[in-house]
Structure 1
Amino acid sequence: MIQKPCASRQPWDLTFTADPEEVAALRHLMSLHLGLWGLREVVDEAQLCVSELVSNVITHVGPGTPATLAVSMSGTHLRIEVHDPDTRALPTLMDVDADAEGGRGMALVDAVADRWGVQLHDGRKVTWCELNTGAMPRIGRFDDPGVSRAETLLDVYATTKSPPASAVDNRMSTALAEETVIGVITDFLHWLRAHGKDPDQVLDHAQTRFESQIQANEETRCAARKRPAKRRS
Structure 2
Amino acid sequence: MRAPLTLGLLATPAAVAGVRRALADYGTDVQLCASELVTNVVVHLGEGVPVTVRVFRDGGRTRLEVTDPDPCALPVRRPAVGADEESGRGLALLDALALDWGVTQGPGEKTVWCELVAEPPEGRVLPGRGAMSVASV
For the aligned pair, the TM-score class normalised by the smaller chain equals 0.7 to 0.9
Of 111, 128, 131 in structure 2, the residue corresponding to residue 126 of structure 1 is 111
Structure 2 unaligned blocks of 5 or more: 121-137
Percent of pairs identical after alignment?
Answer: 45
Q: How many residues align?
A: 119
**Partner residue in 2 for 1:51:** 35
Q: Structure 1 segments of 4 or more deviating over 4 A?
A: none
Between Structure 1 and Structure 2, the one with more strand by share is 2
Equivalent residue for 2:10, pick from 6, 17, 26: 17
Shift of 1:97: 2.2
Which has the larger share of helix? 1
How far does residue 134 in structure 1 lie from its aligned partner after superposition? 7.2
Give yes or no for the alignment of 1:94 onto 2:78.
yes
Cα pair 2:61 2:116 within 8 Å, conserved: yes
Query: Which of the pair has the greater relative contact order for Cα pairs under 8 Å at 6+ separation?
Result: 2
Q: How does 1:35-74 map to 2 (within 5 A)?
A: 43-74=27-58
TM-score, structure 2 as length reference: 0.80
Could you say if the C-alpha distance between residues 134 and 51 of structure 1 is closer, same or farther in structure 2, counting changes exceeding 3 Å? closer
What does residue 22 of structure 2 align with?
29
Q: Secondary structure at the match of 1:10?
A: strand
What is the CA-CA distance between 1:58 and the residue it aligns to? 0.5
Following superposition, the deviation at residue 101 of structure 1 comes to 2.2
Give 1:93 deviation, angstroms.
1.6
What amino acid sits opposite 2:14 in the alignment? E
1:174-196 per-residue CA deviation (whole Å, 9 max, x = no partner) reads xxxxxxxxxxxxxxxxxxxxxxx
The CA deviation string for residues 58-113 of structure 1, in whole angstroms up to 9 with x for no partner, is 01111100010001024421000100001111112211222222111111111111
Question: Matched residue of 2:3: which SS?
Answer: coil
- SS of alignment partner, residue 11 of structure 1: strand
Residues 138-187 of structure 1: per-residue CA shift (max 9 Å, x gap): xxxxxxxxxxxxxxxxxxxxxxxxxxxxxxxxxxxxxxxxxxxxxxxxxx
Taking a change above 3 Å as real, the CA distance of residues 134 and 68 of structure 1, as seen in their structure-2 partners, is: closer
Q: Work out which of the two has the higher radius of gyration on C-alpha atoms and give 1 or 2.
A: 1
Is the 8 Å Cα contact of residues 57 and 118 (structure 2) preserved in structure 1? no
Residue 72 of structure 2 corresponds to residue 79 of structure 1: no
TM-score by length of 1: 0.48
